[in-house]
Amino acid sequence: MAATETATEVYWVTAEVVSAEAFAPFGSVLTAEGQERLPINLYPGIDVFRPALIHADTDTEWLLTRTSVREFRLLYLERHMQLAQAFIPLGGAPFVSVLAAADAPEEDGFPAFDQIRAFIVPGDRGIQIDAGVWHEPPFALVDNSLQLITSHQALTRGLGSDLNQHREIDQLDVEKRNLTERTGRIVKIALP
């Protein structure tokens, strides 16, 4: 019997609305809210802010995803060491982001469950997670949500490959760990 069929213990993580302070251990919230206006006067009516610096060890590219609502169950956590990855909604669709800090202690080869956090990101802002932060691709709250995501060519190839979930990060900059396979348990996300 597969681990997913025998797993009975469910651990719940309740999502919270994202704020710059709560999200700081994982990265930056991409919004003008709480940001200082830069002294750049492009044209009347245009204010310029710098919510985050872009960090990448390689050339970056944009990926565009179309996502539908799926079960709020964590399947994998992945991380990338060469890129601070941004998730920016198009069209105002909110989403849920599930993360664990890059240095989260591990149990059974997986970030400890009490280290996993979930954030509801309103559709009028994005997030940028720091390199090395564990995450699952965003959970859409609206069907057919479009998102721009930063990537790089090796990472994009890695995401499209048949990943061996037990291998460590290599030239494809993807480390992906299967939750139930490693722990025999299930993590579900509750909305407030």
| CA atoms of 89 and 65, how far apart (whole Å) | 10
Model confidence pLDDT, tens digit, residues 159-185:
877 665 545 566 788 888 889 888 999
Where do the structural domains in the chain lie, given as residue ranges?
Answer: 3-190
The pLDDT of residue 32 is above 50 = yes
| CA atoms of 85 and 101, how far apart (whole Å) | 14
The pLDDT of residue 33 is above 60 = yes
Which of 33, 18, 28 lies closest to 121 in space, CA to CA?
18
Pairing state of beta strands 117-121 and 16-17?
parallel
Topology of domain 3-190, CATH = Jelly Rolls (2.60.120)
State the pLDDT at residue 1: 36
- Tell me the whole-structure pTM to 2 decimals: 0.88
Model confidence pLDDT, tens digit, residues 67-87:
999 999 999 999 999 999 999
